[in-house]
Amino acid sequence: MEVSGESKSTPATINLKPIEATPESFQEFGQVIEPSADGEEFGPQDAQLDLSQGIPRFYIMHLENRPLKFSTITHHASVTQCLGSIGGHFWYLGVAKPSIFGSEKPEGGVELVKSRCGHFYAPPAPDEVRVFRFSGPKFVKLHLGTWHAGPLFKGDSMDFYNLELSNTNVVDHTTHNFKNRDGVVFSVEE
């Protein structure tokens, strides 16, 4: 991780080298699901979903102009979101580990914030953010509460399939702004 910045009014840029997303490299944040043979029985290699808090929504998400930079990161406390590029094109996702503490504020020295969604969380630290590169025919299932920024990509537009709940972006969308709170922005370094 490389940090650069000029003054207090200009946020510092943290350059992150992407890590290739594999089931092993991404396991702290979720699951990377790769192709399996038709007829193979359900097992730990399959997405371990939690869609129990509402009506599932599976749709194609069209994104435009998502350069390899970000200053905000989001989590969902009620769903294990899945994302994958249509066509197996490569893309990037910034992530940080889940930090949800539920609806009761615990005692102790951890700085907690109450989400507008009703749960408490610890804001992600800039030095805990990682960027993963997804390539080929695979998708990602994010653990409940995994902080994520993206999908990010190089082209003008890209389509992704997205599995979440029908109201995820209305009632389960908590965002942390690194630029405002920590004075940093992130850039994916290739």
Q: What CATH number does residue 64 fall under?
A: 2.60.120.480
Overall number of domains in the chain: 1
Predicted confidence at residue 7, as pLDDT, reads: 46
Within 13 Å and on the Cβ side, how many CA atoms surround 167? Answer: 9
On average, the pLDDT of the chain sits at 92
Instruction: With residue 180 as reference, give the H or E element that holds it.
Output: helix 178-182
Quote the DSSP letter at residue 127: G
Three-state DSSP state, 187 = strand
Residue 81 counted as domain residue: yes
Residue 76 counted as domain residue: yes
pTM above 0.85, yes or no: yes
* Domain membership of residue 184 as a residue range: 12-33+48-97+128-188
Q: Which pLDDT band, with edges at 50, 70 and 90, does 8 fall under?
A: low
d(CA 133, CA 146): 16
Predicted confidence at residue 190, as pLDDT, reads: 83
Residue 72 counted as domain residue: yes
Predicted confidence at residue 1, as pLDDT, reads: 59
Residue 115 counted as domain residue: no
